[in-house]
Amino acid sequence: MAGSEQSGPMIRASLNLIPEAPVEKMVDLAAYAEELGFGRCWVYDEGLATRDVYVTMTAIMLATDRIQVGPGITNAYTRHPGQTAAAIASLDEMSGGRAFLGLGAGGSLTLDPLAIPRNRPLETIRQAIVACRGLFAGETVDMEGPRFSLQSAHLDYSRPDIQIWLAGRGPRMLDLGGAVADGVLLDFIYKPSLGTYVERVRRGAERTGNQPEICYSTMIVTDERALEAVRPHMTYRLVDSPPDVREVLGIEDTDVAAIRSAMADGLGAAARLVPDEWVLPFVVSGTVEECSAELQQLMEAHGISEFKIPVYDMDNGRALLEITARTLESR
């Protein structure tokens, strides 16, 4: 697989499926990714916007043999972290140890339709990690937090070393990921800022002696179809981007309000408000060779070991996975 015969450090390949299509399609793409040598399959948890993440992951687990599977990502608001831990432990037991947990604060696409406020995200996610890690370890967990509580909670069927990944953009969330998570996902980061984000993770890790893995995710854009596939999914990412990034790109508060309003009519409607110049700074684009060179530079410059490709266009999903494999193999 990608990078296995190259002189540089190996880059592990993973994919992220957004279950906007029937579960059977997700299963087909995950199984094909496993054939191509992808090592990890993340599955979006976007609430009402997609098929259920746990139904989808169960079906993928039953149809594959080697690929690791987990939510990419879930949150601590729409589902109690105790129930999340039980679901992940059950998937892990069923699959012979192939499950992992991806956690984050949750975004506007997930929380807004459910009218769930994202209150005290840093403390909520910190406690969710502590709770899930304790439950995975077979401990009895008592906890009272701002968003959820546990009382004499216990799991007796979990593997203690199930990986917990954290996704985030804010400085304190990245510091938390570096300090306590097994891995940190950097998803669609404004490319000129990628080094800053990695450094924040590393500082958190140094503070506690942790050694988290880092996974970088963005779209590989080699043609107009890939660009149009990713454009709708830049809508909520731009809305949730840090103010300094929006300022650099010239995105005004009125633009954010217009995109957020249009999202009520679907991501396609909101995508019409997103020009190319707001998309390209977040993705890797060009020919396969150009994408390979840029990706190699980004990954090696920042010591990142895993690359994740999001699959949005399900009808073109197999082709995108093949292009990703070629891009990584071209290193």
- % pLDDT > 70, the chain: 96
* Spatial distance between the Cα atoms of 214 and 194, rounded to a whole number of angstroms: 12
Cα radius of gyration rounded to whole Å, the chain: 19
> Would you list the domain boundaries of the chain?
12-223+284-329, 224-283
- Mean pLDDT in residue range 19-27: 96
Specify the pLDDT at position 269.
96
Q: Is the pLDDT of residue 263 over 70?
A: yes
Specify the pLDDT at position 240.
87
- % pLDDT > 90, the chain: 88
Residue 3 — pLDDT band, cuts 50, 70, 90? very low
Q: List pLDDT tens digits, range 68-122.
A: 999 999 999 999 999 999 999 999 999 999 999 999 998 888 888 889 988 899 9
Element (H or E) spanning 101, and its range? strand 101-104
- The more confident residue out of 108 and 209 is 209
* Strand extents, DSSP E, 11-67: 12-17, 40-43
Specify the pLDDT at position 68.
98
Specify the pLDDT at position 1.
54
Query: How many other C-beta atoms lie within 10 A of the C-beta of residue 228?
Result: 15
Specify the pLDDT at position 331.
54
- The more confident residue out of 10 and 273 is 273
CATH topology of domain 12-223+284-329: TIM Barrel (3.20.20)
Query: How many other C-beta atoms lie within 10 A of the C-beta of residue 272?
Result: 12
